[in-house]
Amino acid sequence: MNGKRWAALIIAGVLLVFSLGINTVFAIFKSDFFSNFDSLVAGNELTVMEEVKESGEMDKRIAYLKVDGTIQNVGSSTVWQAVSYDHQFFLNQLDNILYDDTVEGIVLSVNSPGGGVKESAEIYKKLLKIKEERQIPIYVSMDSMAASGGYYISAPADKIFAQRDTITGSIGVIMQSINYQALAEKVGIKYETFKSGEHKDMLSPMREVTPEERAMMQDMINETYQEFVDIVAKGRNMSEANVKKVADGRILSGKKALEAGLVDEIGDEEATIAALRKDFGLEDAELFEYSYDVGGWQSYVGMKIGSMFGPSAEEKMLMKIMADYKAPKMMYLYGEN
């Protein structure tokens, strides 16, 4: 064997080893290895902190809370991936306030198109519990959007502020399923279904919804919708008839919502905080918010690794579609229909 062939074999061997090494690294970072390893890293534990936004008396404080994003329970941030809205962490904040006697008021900033019926109801119930047991004021500051579930969680507030260009309203319930029966038939895919009852595969993507099933689903939607209307009527001290005038799913600007009685004043977050201070003698109260850290340098390294070896934008979109349509569910949601 001459020198050229030896050189070619050596180069081929180096390339093979290099390729195997790269594929191994990708496999590790795309597997659950590091999600399991997270539990062994001390920095992965959520470290809840309080950050002072405006200094003042520490025994008389205002808690600043923020709901930013779709109200869904998608898990918590890790050192490898951050989530925009952490539902469990937000519920924990409400629990902290329930047992913290130094908190004498809440400013809730809402910037959300809504979300799940269950998650919205969980927030609503905890806010009611705080009002009943702590008897402290809750003021809501609507950001660019506080629609559907975003309005649902705002309804029990003592006072709601919206900006003129805030998108709010969208009072109603939506439930969607996807039907790709025609597509499957076109490409030659056939589902074989074995079921214990006539409606066990209701809302299957592989068959049409029957008129009877459509009536069943509409009854469920109507029941949940009525609960939404009742919550708005109770929270805003409005009659059911007046709520239903604008509770047909329509969105409203802040100005129109004020005219409809869905909000109390036009103003930004600063105006909301100032009003709460003035209305309840909390001018000298400290304003603080909760935050958490998923772990110093591990967080930084993890996010860098996630950006390098994590799924592409196309893969993330595909995963979102698959997750969203895995099982239809009722939503208080505007903007992603």
Identify whether 148 is a catalytic site residue. yes
Q: Cα 6 vs. chain centroid, distance in angstroms?
A: 60
How far, in Å, CA of 218 to CA of 224, rounded? 10
For helices 296-309 and 3-30, give the axis angle rounded to 10 degrees. Answer: 120
How far, in Å, CA of 163 to CA of 109, rounded? 12
How far, in Å, CA of 324 to CA of 286, rounded? 41
Identify whether 200 is a catalytic site residue. yes
**For residue 316, which phi and psi values (nearest 5 degrees)?**
-60, -40
Looking at 77, 109, 141, 148, which residue is catalytic? 148
Looking at 30, 125, 200, 329, which residue is catalytic? 200
Token couple for 171: 């009072």
DSSP 97-153: HHT-TTEEEEEEEEEE-EEEHHHHHHHHHHHHHHHHHT---EEEEEEEEEETHHHHT
* Residue found under tokens 């198109």: 113
**Element at 22 (helix H, strand E):** helix 3-30
- Catalytic center residues: 148, 200
